[in-house]
Amino acid sequence: MNISSSFRFCRFTFRKCLSRRLQWDTCDRYYCSKSSSTDQTRVVQLKNKLACGPSFQDFIKSSDKTYDACNDEHEEYHIPECTTARSLKVYFETYGCQMNISDTEIAWSILQKAGYSRTHELPEADVVLLVTCSIREKAEQTIWNRLKHLTALKKRCQKHKPLLKIGVLGCMAERLKTKLLEQEKLVDVLAGPDAYRDLPRLLSLGYRGQRASNVLLSLEETYADVMPVHQTPEGHSAFVSIMRGCDNMCSYCIVPFTRGRERSRPLSSILEEVRMLSDQGVKEVTLLGQNVNSYRDFSEQHFICSEGSTQLSRGFKTVYRTKQGGLLFSDLLDKVSQIDPDMRIRFTSPHPKDFPDEVLQLIQERRNICKQIHLPAQSGSSRVLHAMRRGYTREAYLDLVENIREIIPGVNLSSDFITGFCGETEEDHQETLSLVREVGYNVGFLFAYSMRKKTHAYHRLQDDVPAPVKQRRLEELISVFREEAAKVNMALIGSTQLVLVEGESKRSSEELCGRNDGNVKVVFPKTDLPIQPEKPQMVPITSGDYVLVKFPCRLM
């Protein structure tokens, strides 16, 4: 018998009975305060009952019935006999960021091992899973509309598809559990970002007629031991998740509440996945994380032996205590880039505070690390940046841009911006426009502000910029962004760029499209090329090939 588990059992049962005695004592005191004969009779009855209660020896005897939580036998969950997981087809729809694409691959890997098969045709599906995004209200509304459509479809198909189940995965599942399951009753299964391992059990419960959910966040889950089933049709590029969650707590952002705290995948498991992708012929890997460049591996001996401390960009600060020890993002980038010199390495989405010179110098030195950096600014106004809790000023951001361009000449920069944040004035908006003109990005992700519950802004600030003003400012920002991006792209005219071919252009079957090192999408004529310069044999260009393209060509 396990002594420790026996002791835990004794303590538990003793507590339980002690609680009963306290209840009896409370009743005793209560009835003693009464003077009626009926009350006195009850007091006597309670005292007799108390005297017959279990003694301490009873607790010791009961300890023989050992309880071991690790070996607790739970009820097995089974899909009804009329079907099996092996005969069920699952259909995924993925919304939002690249992390959701990675999550889809993880969830599919787990379900595949449980015996499910996958279909890319909705009418064939027995299980429809939506991998969702909550970052903005518009994203959620898109999913609400889709769920209503799927629910209507489920009712229409009840006769020939009686087992059809609908599930919501990801951020929206965590944020809106009660509304999805109990109020609207649009779904059968909910799984938060840290609960994908539980999907087979949840679906099994769904097939037993129950609505099932698990949206608990974890301080440890990274799915390090789950090898994703990568679904890029052409097979030339792949996403590799290296960390999950975010500690930055920007005042507008829901991510820390839907994805939890930062935790990083062990370096060894990341390297194993990248090597596997290289062996499969993948030509480009994008390292993913909500705050990808704050990666820090505390696993095993690395936490003990490393003395690395958080190295922030100059002029930047955090809202949390800086971390000590572990392997840093620069260590990871160094190891990953050495696996296959012909495999391009990208990463997203970073935070500007986590760009020390060590990272920038490594990007410059390694030929296969793309010379393109995503540098989310969110606003060009120091006052608005302070309200957003971004941890930097306009001046610090511009100093970082200057430092990046000094260390990595010719680097391409992209960014995120929000218009109409709480308290933003016309002067603040003009500062944002001037920042875009001063930096000169080639790609931008621009949105009007959408208030999210649970965030700092929701509790402390007023969403006081009218929707029409937000939209007008967004349109002005898009216009300026396009002007500046055109200037950046015009600078490529006359140069020869190495382009990774992605496939046929959507506009013409006679053209191919791909991206250069700076993540600029280009379209060029489909043609055949010689296998080697000295040999006349010609072969067609296919997806996954690297080709040299001389600009001008059509830029996307």
Residue 76 lies in a domain: no
Q: How far apart are CA 84 and CA 78, in angstroms?
A: 9
157 and 272 both lie in a single domain: no
Residue 93 lies in a domain: yes
437 and 485 both lie in a single domain: yes
For 145, other C-beta atoms within 10 Å of its C-beta total: 10
Cα 48 to Cα 25, 140, 327, 430: the distances in Å are 12, 62, 66, 83
Residue 36 has pLDDT above 80, yes or no: no
377 and 361 both lie in a single domain: no
Mean pLDDT for the stretch of residues 198-220: 92
Mean pLDDT for the stretch of residues 121-139: 91
With tokens 């059992």, the residue in question is 9
Report the CATH number at residue 133.
3.40.50.12160
257 and 155 both lie in a single domain: no
359 and 380 both lie in a single domain: no
- How far is C-alpha 90 from the chain's CA centre? 21
249 and 200 both lie in a single domain: no
Residue 224 lies in a domain: no
In tens, the pLDDT along 255-283 reads: 999 999 999 999 999 999 999 999 999 99
Q: Say if residue 323 is exposed, middle or buried (CB neighbours under 10 Å; 0-12, 13-18, 19+).
A: middle
In tens, the pLDDT along 311-353 reads: 787 778 887 777 778 899 999 999 999 999 999 999 999 999 9
- For residues 395 and 382, the answer to whether their CB atoms sit within 8 Å is yes
Q: How far apart are CA 241 and CA 348, in angstroms?
A: 10
Look at residues 183, 214, 245 and tell me which one is the last residue of a structural domain. 214
Report CA torsion sign: 332, 334, 340, 346.
Answer: positive
426 and 299 both lie in a single domain: no
Look at residues 440, 470, 491 and tell me which one is the last residue of a structural domain. 491
Report the CATH number at residue 301.
3.30.750.210
Phi, psi dihedrals of residue 320, rounded to the nearest 5°:
-125, 165
Tell me which of 42-51, 365-374, 397-406, 525-534 is least confident.
42-51
Residue 314 lies in a domain: no
Q: pLDDT-based confidence at 17, cuts 50/70/90? A: very low
In tens, the pLDDT along 360-417 reads: 999 999 999 999 999 999 999 999 999 999 999 999 999 999 999 999 999 999 999 9
- How far is C-alpha 137 from the chain's CA centre? 17
Mean pLDDT for the stretch of residues 527-556: 81
Q: How far apart are CA 451 and CA 192, in angstroms?
A: 21
Residue 315 lies in a domain: no
Residue 221 lies in a domain: no
* Residue range of the domain that includes 249: 232-306+322-368
- Max mean pLDDT among 7-21, 177-191, 418-432 falls in 418-432
125 and 188 both lie in a single domain: yes
Mean pLDDT for the stretch of residues 188-200: 95
Residue 26 has pLDDT above 60, yes or no: no
**Number of domains the chain contains:** 5
Residue 317 lies in a domain: no
pTM, full prediction: 0.81
Q: pLDDT-based confidence at 299, cuts 50/70/90? A: confident
Q: pLDDT-based confidence at 67, cuts 50/70/90? A: very low
Residue 424 lies in a domain: yes
